[in-house]
Amino acid sequence: YHANGLNAYMELRDDRVSLFVRRLARGRHSLAYRVRAEIPGRFSALPTRASAMYAPELRANSDELKLIIDDKPPEGE
């Protein structure tokens, strides 16, 4: 994952990816992580929810992401 120098800690769970940041300055920040498709199909990455542990009134969210994964074409095509 790429945290733009935020020193984020990442936990991979069965149903989500959890990222933790100790300190976050005011302003706009972005976090990104890679995923790998193992089977074709239609998938959704649910909206991100973020909040401050000790100040829950500070929060943010993102949009849902839709993905369509196609079969890998045969070799030589």
Q: Digits of tens for pLDDT over the chain (77 positions)?
A: 555 577 778 888 888 888 888 888 888 887 777 788 889 999 998 888 888 888 889 888 889 999 999 998 778 76
What is the pLDDT at residue 1? 53
What is the pLDDT at residue 2? 52
What is the pLDDT at residue 77? 65
What is the pLDDT at residue 63? 92
What does the domain layout of the chain look like in residue ranges?
9-69
Cβ atoms within 10 Å, residue 50:
14
CB 1 within 8 A of CB 32: yes
CB 52 within 8 A of CB 70: no
